[in-house]
Amino acid sequence: MDNFIDILNDTTRDISDSKLSQTLKDEVGIDIEESKEIVERISTTIDLIDENYQDLQRAKESGKSRGEWLRTKLNENIKTYTDSKKEEFAKELRDSLEVANREIGIDIFDIDMELSKPLASYKYDELNQKAIIGEFQKQIQDNTMLGSIINGDKKFEVNTTKDIEAVKIYFEKELNSDYDRDFKKAVSVATEIAKQKNLLPKQIIDKTPEEIAMIVDRSLTSTKVAYKLSKGELNPIDALEVIIDRNTAILNSAIIKTTTKYGELWGGKLGTTIGSVFGVGGAVLGAKVGKTVGKLAGHKVGEAISRGVKKVATVAKSLASKALEGVKSIASSLNLNW
């Protein structure tokens, strides 16, 4: 199959890991063991994101803020680091988020946005941790706002000739259901197949299975939130809160995946992963996946998503930091057609 929609139809027909492995093997002609490994990498990444998100929700229900949760998680991850290694970690994470946002501004909005100033100190002690975590939160919030504006600024085309039952089920299920997790795995595998068949734009060809899973999770969460907002199940502020929470969970998942793989030799690699997921390539791929999946949910669902993404974008523009005030529309060169 050389069409992403056909690939998506095949991967979502049976979303068990074994079937996804067989589909990946058959589509791209790789060994079954290699196929199983790729599906496992995608599956464990989606599971980790969901575990982080659910843990964040429990923390908020107990009275903790998103910042307090993130601070606890980061401290768990870097507790064995030396003081200098902690400083290096904080600086690389902050700088990679800022570069990701700035590149989106230049490449997609044609604006060189200076969203934040470098911190005076990256010393990761009790006194400075609050400022550092606050900077991480601001960067994720700005990234969320930019992503929401991208999703809402382009015309959302509803497919009137073909829809996929699994896609309709995904949107009708409650947010963050077990089905959501499995569906995101299936779409991630479809995206991996499209990547290996060179059906994706040039920004995507170097994405790892883990990065694809994170980008797909971001995209499908935002699209589903837009649908739920349009249906009146969420208000605009709560809709953005869900997306920011999910992006925070994805950020922590990216950190865990990178530091687990490389140990303390993550220097440069952490920034590469963050840039891949939250930067231009991730924004382009996410917009394409969300648009393609959304238009396969049937006319009524597609129309609701179209209304919802515009509502989220409107609220994002109104709540965005002053640095984003000049963002009016996406540069005309960005093509979101698959």
Residue 1's pLDDT is: 44
Distances from the Cα of 107 to the Cαs of 84, 219, 251, in angstroms? 34, 19, 22
Residue 4's pLDDT is: 86
Distance separating alpha carbons of residues 303 and 282, to the nearest angstrom = 25
- HSE value, Cβ hemisphere, 13 Å, CA-based, for 294: 34
Residue 287's pLDDT is: 87
Position 5: which residue type? I
pTM: 0.92
51 in any annotated domain: yes
H helix runs in the chain, sequence order: 4-11, 17-28, 32-61, 66-78, 83-107, 126-153, 165-172, 178-196, 209-230, 236-262, 269-278, 280-294, 299-319
Residue 160's pLDDT is: 52
Distance separating alpha carbons of residues 231 and 236, to the nearest angstrom = 11
Residue 323 is classified by DSSP as: G
Domain that holds residue 283: 39-324
CA-based nearest residue to 244, from 133, 141, 132, 100: 141
Region label for 267, one of left (φ > 0), alpha (ψ between -120 and 50) or beta (otherwise):
beta
187 in any annotated domain: yes
226 in any annotated domain: yes
50 in any annotated domain: yes
Residue 94's pLDDT is: 94
Residue at token pair 């899973």: 213
Overall number of domains in the chain: 1
143 in any annotated domain: yes
- pLDDT tens digit at each of 338 positions of the chain: 458 889 999 999 888 888 999 999 999 999 999 999 999 999 999 999 999 999 999 999 999 999 999 999 999 999 999 999 999 999 999 999 999 998 888 887 777 777 777 888 999 998 899 999 999 999 999 999 888 887 776 555 655 557 899 999 999 999 999 999 999 999 999 999 999 998 877 767 889 999 999 999 999 999 999 999 999 999 988 999 999 999 999 999 999 999 999 988 899 999 999 999 999 889 888 988 998 898 899 888 989 998 998 888 888 877 765 556 655 554 444 444 44
21 in any annotated domain: no
268 in any annotated domain: yes
CA-based nearest residue to 203, from 112, 110, 282, 287: 282
Q: What is the DSSP string of 101-137?
A: HHHHHHHTSS------PPPS----SHHHHHHHHHHHH
Q: Which two tokens stand for residue 109?
A: 């909005």
Q: Which two tokens stand for residue 167?
A: 């896609």
- Is 311 in a helix, a strand, or coil? helix
Q: Which two tokens stand for residue 218?
A: 């971001």
What values do phi and psi take at 30, rounded to 5?
-105, 165
Distance separating alpha carbons of residues 277 and 178, to the nearest angstrom = 23
242 in any annotated domain: yes
- Is 26 in a helix, a strand, or coil? helix
